[in-house]
């Protein structure tokens, strides 16, 4: 018996728990893709699996809906893999351990992957149910959404017949999303020159920050650990002498970094630690209302000769961490409270010959996104850095006349006696990829209540999942 086996609708939670048992972090899609194929075969449904491990499953219309236009039900198979410090989970081989707490499901010490496993589970339950009334269904399960919508970008859209789609990749049932940002990844590689010096190695760490999704939470005041470390190192450089050995923070471009560690070499370890802690106390008092769990650690690890960054290299690094743009750049003048353009330094990594930084760029306007790439290019070219861009995905434009939007509003009102908000989102959704490929496309994004996605605090509401599943089934029954 599974942890969720007693929940109803049982099929949804049974499929979700089965998906959680399969490793499915971004880039590790083979097993979960094959699971979808096995599901289709077991239920006698037509399926298509491509080289990117995307899976399309088609279910014929129920009786009386044979002449209805088809609809796509869509979700992505990959999850963001984050774990608590000290966790022994190996995401490449291990499944997720689920925990029920009242109305919520969470994972033990890791991200839950309800983004977007619960969508896949709901769609599977609909495909397997022989009693539901519905038009022809094209279920689309895409891969590597979290690292740039790679699967959707490789999908052969000619396999699909529908011009309307329910994307189930949102986190608030009281919101129907009708537009999203486009985005890209921007890599810069700061060249590293090294010199040998003798001294004491001090490891400096900032941690305990809230982190979160670099689109949805970019305007929430959450502090980026990489830039926080830059501020601390700058302050430290005015108080004592040291050389930087390495600096590393964040491991996902689309997640605001929660920690950063710098290794420095110094002949003044006591002064370095004291100055670091003094500045950290000042910052703690400054950001405590936004980052109540911010903490730090400074400790020596030994004395001897080490390869340190030459002054030219460390100057370029601190220049980047002090002056590079980050966070919200522009708010929309058309949609209230919508972030229009932003970026997030999600990865800062010291390699053998370079310090690599990855920014996740987002904008609801393609021209603004292109200019942001140009702006970063000028910034890093001035320091002689190698740059690379990739992972481009298009924005999803607002559609004035949407049958699906109006139908969701109607069914949500019937279920809850409330009216959902119609919003745009400053985050990438695969809707943009589909909209760019399918003319006259009608799409909305909906989903059950979730909190703190992309973090180890991620949790999914059980009652909200039931509610959204029922609303989707009611919508399908009305699409004759």
**Digit-coded pLDDT (tens) for 261-307:** 999 999 999 999 999 999 999 999 999 999 999 999 999 999 999 99
Of 331, 358, 393, the last residue of a domain is: 393
Residue 366: its pLDDT value, please?
83
Residue 39 shares a structural domain with residue 148 = yes
Q: Is-above-0.75 flag for pTM?
A: no
Give which of 340, 343, 338 is closest to 327, Cα–Cα.
343
Same domain, 175 and 69: yes
Please identify every residue annotated as catalytic. 78, 145
- 170 alpha carbon, distance to own chain's centre: 12
Residue 293, token pair as written in the block: 């769990």
Q: What is the CATH number of the domain that holds 169?
A: 3.40.630.10
Determine, yes or no, domain membership for 362: yes
Same domain, 99 and 242: no
Cβ–Cβ under 8 Å, residues 428 and 435: no
- Range with lowest mean pLDDT among 3-7, 239-243, 351-355: 3-7
Same domain, 150 and 51: yes
pLDDT at 216: 85
The b-or-e profile of 361-377 (16+ CB within 10 A means b, else e) is bbbbbeebbeebbeebe
Q: Do 140 and 77 share a structural domain?
A: yes
Q: Tell me the sheet residues that pair with 91.
A: none
Counting the structural domains of the chain, the total is: 2
- Same domain as 357, residue 424: no
Q: In angstroms, rounded to a whole number, what is the distance separating the alpha carbons of residues 217 and 409?
A: 25
User: Does some domain include residue 2?
Assistant: no
Q: Which of 361, 393, 425 is the last residue of a domain?
A: 393
Start-end of H helices in 288-430: 311-323, 366-381, 403-416
Task: Please say if the pLDDT value at position 317 is more than 90.
Answer: yes
Q: What is the mean pLDDT of residues 206-230?
A: 95
> Residues 201, 338: one domain?
yes
What value does the mean pLDDT take over residues 224-237? 98
φ/ψ (deg, to 5) at 356: -100, 135
Q: Are residues 425 and 349 in the same domain?
A: no
Q: How many CB atoms lie within 10 A of CB 308?
A: 24
pLDDT at 428 over 80: no
Please report which confidence band the pLDDT of residue 427 belongs to, taking 50, 70 and 90 as the band edges. confident
**Domain around 279:** 184-393
378-420 pLDDT tens trace: 999 999 999 999 988 888 888 889 999 999 999 999 999 999 9
Do residue 114 and residue 204 come from a single domain? no
Instruction: Mark whether 169 and 268 lie in a shared domain.
Output: no
DSSP H or E run through 342: strand 339-350
User: What CATH number is attached to the domain comprising 357?
Assistant: 3.30.70.360
User: DSSP strand E in 217-286: where?
Assistant: 243-249, 260-266
The whole-chain average pLDDT of the chain stands at 95
Phi first, then psi: give them for residue 210, nearest 5 degrees.
-75, -35
Residue 202 resides in a domain:
yes
How high is the pLDDT of residue 2? 77
Examine residue 1 and state whether it is found in any structural domain, yes or no: no
Mean pLDDT of all residues in 20-29: 97
Give the pLDDT mean for 326-338. Answer: 89
Whole-number pLDDT of residue 1? 52
142-120-210-87 Cα dihedral, nearest 10 degrees: -100
CA distances from 149 to 52, 79, 125, 391, 427 (A): 11, 12, 24, 7, 12
268 with 382, same domain? Answer: yes
The confidence score (pLDDT) of residue 337 equals 87
Higher pLDDT, 124 or 392: 124
Residue that terminates a domain, selected from 343, 375, 393: 393
Q: What is the mean pLDDT of residues 171-192?
A: 94
194 and 172 belong to one structural domain? no
Q: How far apart are CA 13 and CA 35, in angstroms?
A: 16
| pLDDT at residue 84 tops 70 | yes
Please tell me the number of Cα atoms within 13 Å of 269 on its side-chain side.
16
């Amino acid at each position: 018996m599974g942890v969720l086996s007693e929940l109803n609708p049982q099929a949804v939670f049974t499929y979700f728990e089965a998906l959680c048992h399969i490793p499915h972090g971004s880039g590790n899609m083979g097993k979960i893709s094959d699971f979808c194929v096995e599901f289709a075969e077991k239920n006698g449904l037509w399926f298509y699996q491509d080289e990117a491990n995307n899976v399309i499953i088609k279910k014929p219309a129920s009786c009386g809906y044979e002449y209805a236009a088809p609809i796509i039900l869509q979700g992505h198979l990959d999850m963001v893999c984050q774990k608590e410090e000290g966790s022994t989970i190996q995401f490449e081989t291990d499944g997720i351990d689920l925990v029920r707490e009242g109305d919520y499901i969470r994972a033990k010490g890791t991200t839950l992957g309800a983004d977007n496993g619960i969508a896949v589970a709901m769609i599977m339950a609909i495909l397997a149910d022989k009693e539901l009334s519905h038009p022809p269904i094209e279920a689309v399960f895409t891969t590597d959404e979290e690292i740039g919508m790679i699967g959707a970008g490789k999908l052969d859209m000619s396999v699909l017949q529908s011009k309307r789609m329910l994307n189930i990749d949102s986190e608030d049932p009281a919101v129907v999303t009708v537009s999203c940002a486009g985005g890209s990844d921007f890599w810069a590689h700061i060249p590293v020159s090294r010199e040998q010096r003798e001294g004491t190695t001090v490891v400096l760490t900032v941690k305990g920050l809230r982190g979160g999704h670099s689109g949805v939470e970019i305007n929430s005041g959450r502090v980026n650990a990489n830039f926080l470390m830059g501020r601390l190192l700058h302050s430290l450089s005015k108080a004592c002498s040291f050389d930087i050995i390495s600096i590393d923070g964040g491991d996902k471009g689309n997640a605001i970094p929660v920690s950063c560690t710098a290794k420095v070499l110094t002949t003044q370890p006591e002064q370095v630690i004291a100055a670091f802690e003094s500045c950290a106390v000042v910052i703690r008092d400054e950001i405590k209302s936004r980052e109540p769990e911010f903490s730090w650690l400074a400790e020596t690890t030994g004395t001897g000769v080490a390869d340190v960054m030459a002054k030219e290299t460390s100057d370029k690094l601190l220049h980047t961490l002090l002056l590079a743009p980050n966070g919200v750049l522009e708010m929309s003048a058309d949609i209230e409270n919508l972030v229009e353009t932003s970026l997030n330094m999600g990865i800062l990594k010291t390699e053998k010959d370079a310090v690599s930084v990855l920014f996740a760029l987002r904008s609801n306007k393609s021209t603004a996104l292109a200019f942001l790439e140009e702006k970063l290019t000028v910034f890093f070219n001035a320091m002689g850095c190698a740059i690379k861009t990739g992972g481009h995905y298009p924005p999803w434009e607002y559609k004035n006349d949407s049958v699906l939007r109006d139908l969701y509003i109607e069914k949500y009102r019937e279920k809850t006696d409330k009216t959902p908000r119609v919003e745009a989102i400053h985050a990438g959704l695969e809707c943009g990829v589909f909209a760019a490929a399918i003319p006259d496309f009608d799409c909305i994004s909906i989903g059950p209540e979730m909190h703190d996605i992309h973090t180890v605090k991620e949790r999914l509401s059980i009652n909200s999942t039931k509610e959204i599943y029922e609303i989707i089934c009611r919508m399908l029954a009305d699409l004759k």
